Amino acid sequence: MTIIAAADGSALGNPGPMGWAWYIDDDSWAAGGAPHGTNNIGELTAVLELLRATAHTDEDLLIHCDSRYVIDSITKWMPGWKKKGWKKADGKPVMNLEIIQALDAAMKGRRVRFEWVKGHAGHPLNEAADVRANGAAQAYQNGTPVKSGPGFAGAAALVSTRAEPAPALPVHPTLFDDIEEDPFTEIRIVVSPDEHTRLTARAHEAGVSPEEFLRALI
């Protein structure tokens, strides 16, 4: 038997209030989030939580995911990152490292296959996960309880006996998250002195650099 699920993430503002969710059916799904995170963090966390929830089974797992960044991170880039001491091809540190390393550990001994699906295109499982991930992000934005879902049968005992806490969710937004392995992508913009002054002021108010402020707008 193969467990078929979808995993999805959502960040309002990217970065902003973040939600994640995995969905198998109406009786087996889970959602959660954080006050601040990126879409990629939500997507990665959804897969991690699905792996943890099903860790007590010996079933194969098929994960539908609309993020090529997540799929490629786990199935293509991770071995090279590990050999380089968790560095990317350009020598820079791997982003979202805590979650990536947790995923590496959670994948060990598992029979997992990923299938990319186009987001917001009517795929039933993906749509169900998306609604729940977005609902969790909205809950954090509004300060209301998150609908966490029923979870996966038998997973509660596993979670309650987990020795180590879940990794922190660092926020490292990038200009183009989904093309992580391309170190040559560069965008240049020209602004007037007045525009630069306004940009610097708005970034200062947000507590970030002007570059980080611009990245958050894309």
User: Would residue 12 count as lying in a domain?
Assistant: yes
Structure tokens at 110: 């598992």
Total of domains in the chain: 1
Residue 97 falls inside a structural domain = yes
Q: From CA 2, how far away is CA 88, in angstroms rounded?
A: 33
pTM, whole model, 2 decimals?
Answer: 0.73
Q: Which residues 6+ apart lie within 8 Å of 126 measured at CB? A: 6, 8, 64, 66, 117, 119
pLDDT digits (tens, 9 = 90+) for 129-157: 999 999 999 999 999 999 999 999 876 43
Is residue 213 in a domain? Answer: no
Q: Which domain holds residue 57?
A: 2-179
For Cα atoms 160, 71, 120, give the angle at the middle one, nearest 5 degrees: 95
Distance CA(145)–CA(33), nearest Å, equals 11
User: Which residues are known to be catalytic?
Assistant: 8-9, 43, 66, 120, 130
For residue 193, is it within any domain? no
- The neighbouring-strand residues paired with 151 are 29
User: Does the residue 58 lie in any domain?
Assistant: yes
Q: Is residue 113 part of a domain?
A: yes
The pLDDT tens digits of the residues spanning 79-127 come to 999 999 999 988 999 999 999 999 999 999 999 999 999 998 999 999 9
How far apart (Å, rounded) are the C-alpha atoms in residues 186 and 171? 21
197 within domain boundaries: no
Q: Residue 184 domain-assigned?
A: no
- pLDDT above 90 as % of the chain: 67
**CATH code, 17:** 3.30.420.10
